[in-house]
Amino acid sequence: MLDPQARALIDLMVARQVPPVHTLTPQDARRMYLERRGFTQPVPPLVGEVRGLQTDTGVPLRLYRPQALGVKPVLVYFHGGGWTMGDLDTHDVLCRQLCAAADVAVVAVDYRLGPEHRFPAAVDDCLAATRWVRQQAAGLGLDATRLALGGDSAGGNLAAVTALLMRDAGDAPAACQLLIYPATDMRCEAPSHTHNGQGYMLTSDSVNYFRAQYIAHESQWADWRASPLLAPDLSRLPPALVLTAGYDPLRDEGLQYADALSAAGNRVQYICFERQIHGFITMGRVIDEAHTAVALCAAVLRDAFKPRPAATA
């Protein structure tokens, strides 16, 4: 059963004749995505500090610090929006929620979007931003040894890919991966793309639209930097929470990625919010389970960052 609150939101959008995203220009899609947040997102919680930053390569960032003082672990967060929409403002509330609930700093990354900047521009920005945060951590009051990667939807894809790139480059691994209904396979062949392809806000038409804005040619779908599920080696990666939604076209590829990570020997937790739709975690004003999902993510972050006892002989 679809969550009645999600059903009510979908029905309201139909009644108000909100145009499907795949019928819009990228510019109009971005504007509507930004405007809609005021209706679905909860009141932003207070945090200790919010500050704009920029990497040496020009990627805009936003730093959130908790109210409690001290050197803090940090979550580098990549927003969703199909690699086409979204920015620091569309995910401001979620970043504040994670900052306050987990008592961690959050650095949100405003990576380049398609179609103006196609794959792998977003990948390059996310890796560069993560490295910059680690390099500048001391001056920002952050603990470089306790850094996590996270993101939702397209951002979950970018977080997974960034973890793989860091491993392959020999970078110190992240403490964990927070992968919220991630896109993991650009081929879009999983059964949920058919079962949940119409009627639940994110449709197959929209998925294809976003993919076309981001990926220039079908031959790139199999590049693991676009489809981390297809990476030839998924071993030696940070512990992961993979969170999916039952009425989401991306549900099955999220589960497939969690299973592939587990099969490769990684520590993985997988949770499916069976009655939810894609994008629900930012919709706490109208969907109660969004708050449960945020609390779960915060608990995983707190656990990932807590001191571990030294191993004994």
Mean pLDDT for 26-39 is: 95
- The three-state secondary structure class of 201 is coil
Report the distance separating Cα 101 and Cα 295, nearest Å.
7
pLDDT, position 50: 98
Mean pLDDT for 63-72 is: 96
Report the distance separating Cα 310 and Cα 313, nearest Å.
10
Report the distance separating Cα 228 and Cα 247, nearest Å.
22
pLDDT at 189 over 70: yes
Report the distance separating Cα 271 and Cα 309, nearest Å.
27
Q: Which residues are catalytic?
A: 153, 248, 278
**Which residues on adjacent β-strands are paired with residue 268?**
240
Report the distance separating Cα 200 and Cα 7, nearest Å.
8
* DSSP state at residue 308: -
pLDDT, position 309: 67
pLDDT, position 307: 80
Mean pLDDT for 228-238 is: 98
pLDDT, position 92: 98
pLDDT, position 17: 95
Mean pLDDT for 221-238 is: 98
N-to-C CA span, the chain = 51
What digits encode the pLDDT tens for the residues 129-167?
A: 999 999 999 999 999 999 999 999 999 999 999 999 999
pLDDT at 177 over 90: yes
pLDDT at 288 over 90: yes
Contacts of 231 (CB under 8 A, 6+ apart): 164, 224
pLDDT at 313 over 80: no
> Average pLDDT, whole number, for the chain?
97
232 pLDDT band, cuts 50/70/90, is: very high
- The structural architecture, per CATH, of the domain 4-305 is 3-Layer(aba) Sandwich (3.40)
Domain ranges of the chain: 4-305
pLDDT, position 46: 97
Kindly state the tokens that stand for 7: 């059903």
- State pTM to two decimals: 0.97
What digits encode the pLDDT tens for the residues 119-129?
A: 999 999 999 99
Mean pLDDT for 233-252 is: 98
Report the interhelical angle of 154-169 vs 121-140 (nearest 10°): 70
Kindly state the tokens that stand for 280: 């629900």
What digits encode the pLDDT tens for the residues 253-271?
A: 999 999 999 999 999 999 9
310 pLDDT band, cuts 50/70/90, is: low
pLDDT, position 311: 54
